[in-house]
Amino acid sequence: MRPFLRRGLAPASLAALALCLALAPGSVPGAPRERVIICFGDSLTAGLGVLPEESYPAVLAARLKAEGYSYRVVNAGVSGDTTAGGLRRVDWALRLNPDIVILALGANDGLRGQDLAGVRANLDKMVERFQQSGARVLLAGMRLPPNYGRPYAEEFRRMYAAVARKRSVPFMPFLLDGVGGNPRLNQPDGIHPTAEGHRVIVDRLWPHLRPLLTR
């Protein structure tokens, strides 16, 4: 069975992200600039239902350190967020001067049946804004269940690849590759990954991210 999301994601909460950005250390004159990776998404990125250290951004930070890469990973996931909400948060994220942005938004738009022309435009604009700042963007796609109608689900899937081609950015076709639809790797809601599921996300994400990394 093709992995997919089945229901809407959790309501939005900006508190954790606000605290994260508020506490972000400033640059020290004369010191080497800190390299930053922002994981920019919704509850799948935020790690709803697992401990903060079990979310995929935290697991990725540990993987980077173990592999000898020096990056600070910022979890900029907001539960319930949409592409419109993400677009409004771009300026906020750019304050961290990211080197790399892992962009994984759109699931909530699709699950709410939003017009995909608008969703695509939002994704495209976010990628453009991050690129204009000098950040490298890794776009992660999502998929919808067939009960949303095959034409809509297929257009939704193709939308991500189209944005990636237009902006010439690396593309991971499905953030939940190997995780979605697997009860063992998902919480009882069937949507949000378990701690083990988040580890699988990092394993599947790594080959797409590694070419963007510098030592």
CATH code: domain of residue 62: 3.40.50.1110
| Confidence band, pLDDT 50/70/90 cuts, at residue 113 | very high
How far is residue 100's CA from residue 137's CA, in Å, rounded to a whole number? Answer: 6
| Confidence band, pLDDT 50/70/90 cuts, at residue 101 | very high
Asked if residue 4 is part of any domain, the answer here is: no
Asked if residue 187 is part of any domain, the answer here is: yes
pTM listed for this prediction:
0.88
Token pair in block for residue 119: 């969703």
Residue 192 designated active-site: yes
List the catalytic residue out of 27, 70, 91, 189. 189
Percent of all residues in the chain with a pLDDT value above 90, rounded to a whole number: 82
Higher-confidence position of 174 and 3 = 174
Residue 55 designated active-site: no
- To 10 degrees, what angle do helices 195-209 and 56-66 make? 50
Asked if residue 16 is part of any domain, the answer here is: no
Asked if residue 13 is part of any domain, the answer here is: no
pLDDT tens for 26-84 read 445 555 678 999 999 999 999 999 999 999 999 999 999 999 999 999 999 999 999 99
List the catalytic residue out of 43, 81, 177, 198. 43
Token pair in block for residue 44: 């799948």
Give the number of domains in the chain: 1
Asked if residue 185 is part of any domain, the answer here is: yes
Q: Which residue range is the domain that position 199 belongs to?
A: 34-210
Rounded mean pLDDT, 126-143: 98
Asked if residue 11 is part of any domain, the answer here is: no
Question: Average pLDDT of the chain?
Answer: 90
Q: Is pLDDT above 90 for 163?
A: yes
Please tell me the predicted confidence (pLDDT) of residue 4: 52
Residue 189 designated active-site: yes
Q: Is pLDDT above 90 for 9?
A: no
List the catalytic residue out of 81, 177, 192, 198. 192
Q: Is pLDDT above 60 for 134?
A: yes
| Confidence band, pLDDT 50/70/90 cuts, at residue 145 | confident
- To 10 degrees, what angle do helices 150-167 and 116-132 make? 20
How far is residue 117's CA from residue 70's CA, in Å, rounded to a whole number? Answer: 38
Asked if residue 108 is part of any domain, the answer here is: yes
Asked if residue 28 is part of any domain, the answer here is: no
